Amino acid sequence: MISDYVEPFITYGFLANQRFEWSDLAGVAVGVRSDYSSAFGSGATAQTFPRGDAFLNISRFKFWENSKISNVISDFKIRAAYGEAGIQPGAFQRFPVLGASNLGSNSVFRFPTTSPNPNLAVELSKETEFGFDLGFNLLKGDWLKNANFSFTYWKRNTDNAIYRVDAAPSTGVGSILNNAFGLGSNGIQASLNLNVLSKKDFSWDFTTNFSKQTSEITSVTGADVVVLSAAGSTGLTLKPGLKIGQIFGFLVLRSVDQVDPNTGQPFIAKANQGNYEVASNGWVVNKTTKQPISSPGQYSFGDPNPKFNMSFINNFNYKGFLSLSMQWDWVNGSHLYNQTKEWMYRDGIHSDYSVPLTIDGVSQAYTAFYRGIYQVGQNNGTKDYFYEDASFARLRNLSVGIDFSKLLKIKTFQRLQLVLSGRNLVTFTKYTGMDPEVSSGASNSSFDRGVDHNTLPNTKAYTIGLNVGF
Amino acid sequence: MKNNKILVGILGVALSMTACKKDLDISNTNQPTPESAQNEAGVISLAQGSIYRNGFYDLKYSDGVYGRFWAGATGFQEMMGDIIGAEAANAFMNQIGCPNKVTLDNGTVVLNPSAINTQYALLRNINNNQQQGSNATYYEWAYMYNMITAANSILKIAESTTFTGAGAATKKATVQAWAYWWKGYAYARIGSIYYAGLIQNAGTTDASTNGNYVTKEAIITESNANFDKCAAALAAATSATDYSAVLAQLLPSFVQKGKGGVLTTAMWQRNINTMKARNILVNTPKSAMTATQWQSILTLVNNGITATDYIFTGRTDPNGDFLGTTIADKIQSQGNATNTYKLSERWVQEFRAGDKRKDNNVRTLPNVGIFNTDRGNAFNTRFSLTNGGSGLPGVIVYANLVAGANEISLCGTYEENELMKAEALIQTNQIDLGVKSIDNVRAYQGAGLAALPAGMTQAAAYEELRSERRIALAFKGLSFYDARRWEIIAPDKSRTGCNVISAAGVLNTNATIVYGFLDYWDVPDNELAYNPPAAGSAAVKNPKQ
């Protein structure tokens, strides 16, 4: 079967950028670009995107260089930038078309399930950032000679993000491409680099990086956008004011008089509360059936994204031939929905089934409880029992290198270095799944994260390498 | 000097940009545009594709486990009609047909084991936009409104299309009859299951709707009105050759065999009458039927589908079809296995001794099928269907996986017409005449049963009719209508004398089942979330709690 697909795309415009610098004291750049595109349809106006950045190297001013501060803080530079960018609709997202299907040996017209939108506008992003870099001269002597510190704060807004939104079924259309929502995000990044020790034979450098970011839906056109994670049955909702990637599901009750946040009434009617108790594992169970109970409605579990990420990198070098490098990564406050565990509960193959719990004084590994967790609310539904803390600290990289040409003073080789390294060697985490660093959702999605569904974990890797230089 | 060069440069760029602007006017040459349908061949092609594919197949949500309209949406109705059961939980289908309570022969009560243990509560819980495709009540609504808006688009396009030849008026009338027929069919399905509906006159390309919900009775009236418009258009299709030529292009070629040939206008008119009779019958409880209504039904069915008439049919095809698979194909299985749909014991018990339809199709599993007790209380079964039948000559076959081998009926059938006739005759005390119609249906399907005797009581005759309806009209998405109008589905009603296989595999023959199924569904939340009721709308939720 031969097919032929043609996607014409015509774009033109102009780009102008001008930079001004005064020695290395200060600099300013401004620029603009303006684009026409066939994806906008004919008769559309051009999209114009300005940008600019500036820096000021305070430490190069005479007053700084002449003062005592320059002995301690050798470099101090502040910088800022602003830019706008756009993502245009796909080549044909504005053009109404008919679909075609085979019925028997004939090809017939039909209506497509997703309707294009002739009024689709360009997705616009605006980003601002500012920051500073500092260089320190610390102690005289071998320890803590100098340090560099840099810090950046950034803020970005995206408006008119293009997404498929549901249409009412009575329109005969499944979904319409629309400028569905706006996103806002901001964050900080900081890094500190220290010469901890620099002797003639031995040096030790230490670097640490810190980053923190948060993203939120700022606006939604029309009704809230309901999406399913690409990782199976977990439900996400894009609602204004919510952090991105929030997972919605049933709340499995943890206290017998737990109150419904929407109505203020207890989930379990007062008359029935005597039939329930909190089992030894912290979940409310029915004393007779041993099954747990959940809220009838679905609620947000909170923000699955991490509170912050840090890395710690240490580099050691002895007499130029022996080098050791070690990197630890720390992700704090992230959460994962352990869908893999939920499917294993369905099939009764998870080791939790043999963990006993005490209900009404009797301690047993109640299958009815674990099976009930799978069933409660909805078979295979999203529920907070499986929403776990996935914070972790991981030895990302440990590598040792020995340069034999320097060690044994071999003349023919400039470098003969044997490198042994290991990745992901040690992980500390409370997450019960295989790897707290997986995401089974749509790749590169800004909001489809936080679900672990049968994704292969990252692996420990050991490598041995030889670098040869002549 | 430098300034001049810069100025010239900027001017040149600006000039070239204005020249290029019209190059931006591209079009998508990979797919047909609505303009492609604006001619005779195009509108006929769109009329076939949009009705069959948009109406029965292509939807924004789908799941292969239950399938498209003719296996999924109609399958859900058959579950509520206790023809089939399901163990899988996709779209909560194991719970849609799970009765509230089963009382076994020895008095043991087996309740619905689900976390939400009544169908009333379940439907209200899953009818939520966040459930997306897991909301089982979404499907029939969405498919049928796809069909209605497609038909509206076809009518609009046909209005401005130039048809060729001397029979141009007939060709246009045929396309219009086609659109009105399917609108009538779709409104009939909506008004027969949803508590309220929308009268939608916009086409698919308008992508618009209205929020004026009307009662189900108003929807049935709209259905009948469209059937009447279809009849009027058929009357205007005076040139028989042009009419047949167009209809032969509207019907997919692979269904034009068996009962699916090119209908004459007279046959189509009879199809209309059968559907109008169905509209009366399925939406009125049997106990509330008046003599006038029976008489209306009789008038219609006496001019309804005959044994030699063509009807609207569907088949599978290896190159592409609009079924995907059928309900019977999702039941049939081999060896000890059962398929996604489990054949209900309460259906198999309807067969009379010696009914060849059972011998040809129903097979006994080597081991009794016992399914997860936490997913249902009434779906264990000893039976499944045989793929392709057992080869008894002249006997109907339900399941056949061979592409194109099996024919399913989409709208009315001779059997349905004849059984409505039988019921109307029996209920108006013309019992001997009525049972003859039951015999006709049995003979037509190759049942090989002896003719029913004269002088039967009304109750005995009605019992024959009841079981015959469940067998002859099985797998068509009609059995829930019967269960509802026979008033056995309400939470305070029950069906006695049931065959039930207990969780231990023991056959009970006098079990009582309390179904507790909602008679008409609330309007799906997938609609209400994006199209809330306007002021003055009818109630969109069934008040039964």
Task: Supply the DSSP string of B477-524, one letter for each residue.
Answer: T-HHHHHHHTT--STT--EEEEEEE-TTS-EEEEEEEE----SSBPPP
- What confidence score (pLDDT) does residue B308 get? 96
Q: What are the backbone angles phi and psi of residue B279, rounded to the nearest 5°? A: -55, -35
> ∠ CA(B417), CA(B423), CA(B428), 5° rounding?
130
Number of Cβ atoms within 10 Å of the Cβ of A1: 2
B408-436 pLDDT per residue, tens: 999 999 999 999 999 999 999 999 999 99
Whether the CA torsion B61, B67, B71, B76 is positive or negative: it is negative
Q: Does A36 touch chain B (CB under 8 A)?
A: yes
B26:A111 CB<8 A: no
Q: Which of B59, B141, B322 sits opposite A103 (nearest CB)?
A: B322
- What confidence score (pLDDT) does residue A160 get? 86
B145-161 pLDDT per residue, tens: 999 999 999 999 999 99
Judged on CB neighbours under 10 Å (0-12, 13-18, 19+), A456 is exposed
Q: pLDDT band for B3, please (50, 70, 90 cuts).
A: low
Domain total for chain A?
Answer: 1
Q: pLDDT band for A224, please (50, 70, 90 cuts).
A: confident
Q: pLDDT band for B329, please (50, 70, 90 cuts).
A: very high
Q: Does B49 touch chain A (CB under 8 A)?
A: yes
Q: H or E stretch including A78?
A: strand A73-87
Nearest residue of A to residue B142, measured between CA atoms: A169
- What confidence score (pLDDT) does residue A227 get? 67
Summarize the confidence of residues B483-511 as an average pLDDT. 95
A248-264 pLDDT per residue, tens: 888 999 999 999 887 88
Summarize the confidence of residues B32-36 as an average pLDDT. 80
Q: Does A176 touch chain B (CB under 8 A)?
A: yes
* pLDDT greater at residue A296 or residue B192: B192
| B91 neighbourhood in chain A, CB within 8 Å | none
Q: pLDDT band for A241, please (50, 70, 90 cuts).
A: confident
Q: Does A221 touch chain B (CB under 8 A)?
A: no
Assign residue A6 the CATH number of its domain: 2.40.170.20
Q: How far is A387 from chain B (nearest CA, A)?
A: 19
User: Among residues of chain A, what percentage have pLDDT more than 90?
Assistant: 45
Q: Check residue B449 and report its DSSP letter.
A: P
- What confidence score (pLDDT) does residue A166 get? 84
Distances (CA, A) of A418 to A254, A318, A398, A399, A467: 56, 15, 14, 10, 6
Q: What are the backbone angles phi and psi of residue A439, rounded to the nearest 5°? A: -145, 125
Q: Does B17 touch chain A (CB under 8 A)?
A: yes
Residue A128 located in a structural domain? yes
Q: What are the backbone angles phi and psi of residue B319, rounded to the nearest 5°? A: -90, -10
* Distance, C-alpha A55 to centroid of its chain: 30
Q: How far is A47 from chain B (nearest CA, A)?
A: 14
**Are the C-beta atoms of B446 and B396 separated by less than 8 Å?**
yes
Q: How far is A4 from chain B (nearest CA, A)?
A: 8
Select from A47, A109, A113 the residue whose CB has the most chain B CBs within 10 Å, as the one to mutate to test that interface.
A109
**Are the C-beta atoms of A223 and A195 separated by less than 8 Å?**
no
Q: pLDDT band for A235, please (50, 70, 90 cuts).
A: low
Helical H runs in A250-349?
A: 339-346
Distance CA(B356)–CA(B81), nearest Å, equals: 23
Residue A11 located in a structural domain? yes
Q: How far is A220 from chain B (nearest CA, A)?
A: 13
A95:B203 CB<8 A: no
- What confidence score (pLDDT) does residue A116 get? 81
pLDDT of residue A440 exceeding 90, the answer is no
* pLDDT greater at residue A263 or residue B140: B140
Summarize the confidence of residues A344-370 as an average pLDDT. 92
Distance CA(A467)–CA(B532), nearest Å, equals: 69
A106-127 pLDDT per residue, tens: 999 999 988 888 778 888 899 9
Select from B28, B213, B250 the residue whose CB has the most chain A CBs within 10 Å, as the one to mutate to test that interface.
B28
Distance CA(B533)–CA(B541), nearest Å, equals: 11
- What confidence score (pLDDT) does residue A245 get? 76
B514-536 pLDDT per residue, tens: 999 999 999 999 999 889 999 99
Q: H or E stretch including A148?
A: strand A146-166
Q: Does A262 touch chain B (CB under 8 A)?
A: no
B207:A237 CB<8 A: no
| B138 neighbourhood in chain A, CB within 8 Å | 169
Q: Check residue A266 and report its DSSP letter.
A: B
Cα Rg, chain A, nearest whole Å:
29
Q: B45-69 b/e with 16+ CB inside 10 Å = b?
A: bbbbbbbbbbbbbbbbbbeeebbbb
A106:B252 CB<8 A: yes
Summarize the confidence of residues A435-448 as an average pLDDT. 74
Summarize the confidence of residues A153-163 as an average pLDDT. 90
Q: Does A34 touch chain B (CB under 8 A)?
A: no
B32:A100 CB<8 A: yes
A98:B31 CB<8 A: yes
Residue A197 located in a structural domain? yes
β-partners of residue A18 are A30
Distance CA(B291)–CA(B480), nearest Å, equals: 24
Q: Which domain holds residue A110?
A: 1-223
B254:A228 CB<8 A: no
- What confidence score (pLDDT) does residue A178 get? 84
Q: pLDDT band for B18, please (50, 70, 90 cuts).
A: low
Tokens 């028989």 correspond to: B240
Q: Does A271 touch chain B (CB under 8 A)?
A: no
Chain B, 240 to 259: residues with Cβ < 8 Å from chain A are 252-254
Average pLDDT of chain B, as a whole number: 93
B46:A380 CB<8 A: no
A171-187 pLDDT per residue, tens: 998 888 888 888 899 99
B368-378 pLDDT per residue, tens: 999 999 899 99
pLDDT of residue A364 exceeding 80, the answer is yes
Residue A22 located in a structural domain? yes
Q: Does A174 touch chain B (CB under 8 A)?
A: yes
Distance CA(B523)–CA(B533), nearest Å, equals: 10
Q: pLDDT band for A413, please (50, 70, 90 cuts).
A: confident
Chain A, 392 to 451: residues with Cβ < 8 Å from chain B are none
Summarize the confidence of residues B380-392 as an average pLDDT. 96
Within 8 A by CB and 6+ apart from B112, the residues are B95, B98, B99, B100, B101, B118, B119, B376, B377
Q: Does A92 touch chain B (CB under 8 A)?
A: yes
- What confidence score (pLDDT) does residue A12 get? 81
Select from B11, B43, B60, B144 the residue whose CB has the most chain A CBs within 10 Å, as the one to mutate to test that interface.
B60
Judged on CB neighbours under 10 Å (0-12, 13-18, 19+), A2 is exposed
Distance CA(B365)–CA(B507), nearest Å, equals: 14
- What confidence score (pLDDT) does residue B306 get? 96
| B129 neighbourhood in chain A, CB within 8 Å | 166, 223, 226
Within 8 A by CB and 6+ apart from A361, the residues are none
